[in-house]
Amino acid sequence: MIYLEFLEGQGLGNQLWNYVALRAITEKLGFNFKIINPHKFKGKEFIEIKYSSQINKKSDNLIKNIFYESLFHDKNLKTYSSYFDKEVLKINPNTEIRGLFQSEKYLFDKDINNYIKIKKNFKKNNNLKNTCLINLRGGEYKRFKNLILPKKYWLDAIENIKKISKDITFLIVTDDYDYASKLLPNIKILKGNISQDFINLFSAEYVILSNSSFAYFPVSLGEKPKIVIAPAHWSRFGNNLERWTSPSNYYKGWKYQDKSGSFLTNKQIKKSIKSTITYYSSFYIRTLPEFENKKSLLVIFPKKLKKIIKKILSKISPMNLG
């Protein structure tokens, strides 16, 4: 049995990457699997997944080992990065896996549609024909100035979509309405909860993405969009070192746009990823993935009060706080 725990504070994208990696790894190795804390799954309202491959209550106390995915600390870019950790193929039974697991290499050519199903009562949005959804990430990203994407990225991507057809409609799907309305004030926000955002991205013909794990699954399930634009070098967009942070977050078929507004060629992408992996491989460390949570003064407040304070601050300064 191989275990995976859904953790407090994990986003849906992180949970789904952990889950599909678990399923594919256990299939590859011939092990059973079990989810710890299934009630913490953020997609349970609209997504069907399996929480265990067998009914075995006695297995709950059999965890003997913990496997940590290798992470690379980049002091120059002030971030942690990840790639496919081949050591996962050597894990023993009764091991819990922990990490990001966001590389498609963890799928071993398996189709994620085999592991994830959208519940039948959540129908595709058929009103998004000839529409491009801009999946704009704000929220806590605004605390990391080298992580959040500049306005130019979004404007360049919009122009690249317009080259296909001037009749394409643009709508925003976001976790931060105040920030999005200030950043791109002339584009309507398609408001909704997490399930509605997921279904809308699942239904879109054209998508412009942020460097967030959330959107991978709606745009990769079922019928894929005609075009997916994503930021080159992922979490450190346009960095002068041209490092791909993280190499895990390169996905086949997407168009990666650089800081000039051009799409990288496959040759440029391969060169960047190869040099990045070569650089990182000499000093990898094993650690927990909760590495980039900057501590703020809000930690002293209760959870409910923190939400209220964040909401007030985001209204006061939506471009910087939230």
CA separation for the pair 205, 110 (Å, rounded): 24
Residue 292: inside a domain, yes or no? no
Domain final residue, candidates 118, 143, 166:
118
**Residue 202, domain CATH:** 3.40.50
Instruction: Check pLDDT > 80 for residue 154.
Output: yes
- The answer to whether residues 147 and 261 belong to one domain is yes
- Do the beta carbons of residue 106 and residue 24 sit within 8 Å? yes
Residue 294: inside a domain, yes or no? no
Residue 320: inside a domain, yes or no? no
Question: pLDDT band at 252, cuts 50/70/90?
Answer: very high
CA separation for the pair 321, 73 (Å, rounded): 26
Closest CA relative to residue 217, chosen from 247, 244, 192, 251 = 251
Question: pLDDT band at 199, cuts 50/70/90?
Answer: very high
Summarize pLDDT for 167-187 with one digit per residue, the tens. Answer: 999 999 999 999 999 999 999
- The answer to whether residues 135 and 267 belong to one domain is yes
**The tokens 């994830």 sit on which residue?**
116
Least confident piece of the model among 24-33, 91-100, 140-149, 294-303: 294-303
DSSP secondary structure code for residue 46 in this structure: T
Instruction: Name 208's bridge partners.
Output: 134, 229
Residue 316: inside a domain, yes or no? no
- The answer to whether residues 112 and 13 belong to one domain is yes
Task: Please give the pLDDT value at position 143.
Answer: 86
Give the alpha-carbon dihedral of 57, 61, 64, 69, to 10 degrees: 70
- The answer to whether residues 107 and 21 belong to one domain is yes
User: Cα(first)–Cα(last) distance of the chain, in Å?
Assistant: 40
Instruction: Check pLDDT > 80 for residue 241.
Output: yes
- Dihedral of alpha carbons 134, 119, 108, 42, sign: positive
CA separation for the pair 57, 34 (Å, rounded): 10
Domain final residue, candidates 263, 280, 297:
280
Neighbours of 39 (CB within 10 A): 8
- The answer to whether residues 170 and 263 belong to one domain is yes
- The answer to whether residues 145 and 102 belong to one domain is no
Residue 207: inside a domain, yes or no? yes
Closest CA relative to residue 205, chosen from 265, 148, 264, 161 = 161
- Structural domains of the chain, count: 2
Task: Please give the pLDDT value at position 9.
Answer: 87
Summarize pLDDT for 261-315 with one digit per residue, the tens. Answer: 999 999 999 999 999 999 998 865 555 545 444 444 544 556 666 556 556 655 6
What is the average pLDDT score of the chain?
A: 89
Residue 267: inside a domain, yes or no? yes
Instruction: Check pLDDT > 50 for residue 19.
Output: yes
* DSSP code per residue over 84-102: --GGGGGPPSSEEEES---
Instruction: Check pLDDT > 70 for residue 165.
Output: yes
* DSSP code per residue over 131-170: EEEEEE--GGGGG-TTTSPPHHHHHHHHHHHHTT-TT-EE
The structure tokens listed for 162 are 């317009």
Task: Please give the pLDDT value at position 64.
Answer: 86
- The answer to whether residues 136 and 210 belong to one domain is yes
117 or 64, which is more confident: 117
* Entry pTM: 0.88
126 or 288, which is more confident: 126
- The answer to whether residues 205 and 96 belong to one domain is no
Helix or strand run (H / E) with residue 66: strand 65-68
- The answer to whether residues 87 and 36 belong to one domain is yes
- The answer to whether residues 172 and 96 belong to one domain is no
The proportion of the chain whose per-residue pLDDT surpasses 90, expressed as a percent, equals 77
Domain final residue, candidates 67, 90, 118:
118
Instruction: Check pLDDT > 60 for residue 4.
Output: yes
Task: Please give the pLDDT value at position 107.
Answer: 98
Residue 20: phi and psi, rounded to 5, are -65, -35
Question: pLDDT band at 59, cuts 50/70/90?
Answer: low
* DSSP code per residue over 9-32: T--HHHHHHHHHHHHHHHHHHT--
Instruction: Check pLDDT > 80 for residue 60.
Output: no
3-state secondary structure of 312: helix
Q: Which residues of 160-194 are buried (b: 16+ CB within 10 A; e: fewer)?
A: bbeeeeeeeebebbbbbbbbbbebbeebebbeeee
Residue 61: phi and psi, rounded to 5, are -105, 20
Residue 27: inside a domain, yes or no? yes
- The answer to whether residues 95 and 149 belong to one domain is no
Task: Please give the pLDDT value at position 54.
Answer: 79
- Do the beta carbons of residue 207 and residue 130 sit within 8 Å? no
Which domain, by its residues, includes 215?
131-280
Task: Please give the pLDDT value at position 155.
Answer: 98
- The answer to whether residues 152 and 270 belong to one domain is yes
Closest CA relative to residue 107, chosen from 16, 229, 7 = 16
Task: Please give the pLDDT value at position 142.
Answer: 87
Average confidence (pLDDT) over 100-111: 97
Residue 300: inside a domain, yes or no? no
Instruction: Check pLDDT > 80 for residue 84.
Output: yes
The structure tokens listed for 319 are 């471009």
